[in-house]
Amino acid sequence: TRLKRFKDARKEIEQATHFDMYIINESFESAFEELRSIVIDGKVSRTSKDDAMKLCKKLLKEFDELTWL
């Protein structure tokens, strides 16, 4: 269900500091292409850890503001 997915997503975002690479899923096509370039081509993530942490902090704040979650 959506509620479970939101709860799972929050837990995953809380663990982001432990990750080495980040893929921001703004669109399926761009996320898939970045994942492919990391796995197949051995390239590094286009998203820096600092940028990823800023986004994670923003998302966690938004989660905290949801009254139904």
Least confident of 1-5, 14-18, 53-57, 61-65: 1-5
Specify the length of the chain in residues.
69
Whole-angstrom Cα distance, residue 30 to residue 42?
17
pLDDT over threshold 80, residue 5: yes
Mean pLDDT of 61-66: 90
What is the reported pTM? 0.73
Mean pLDDT of 26-55: 92
Which pLDDT tens digit goes with each residue over 42-57?
Answer: 998 888 999 999 999 9
Whole-angstrom Cα distance, residue 22 to residue 31?
10
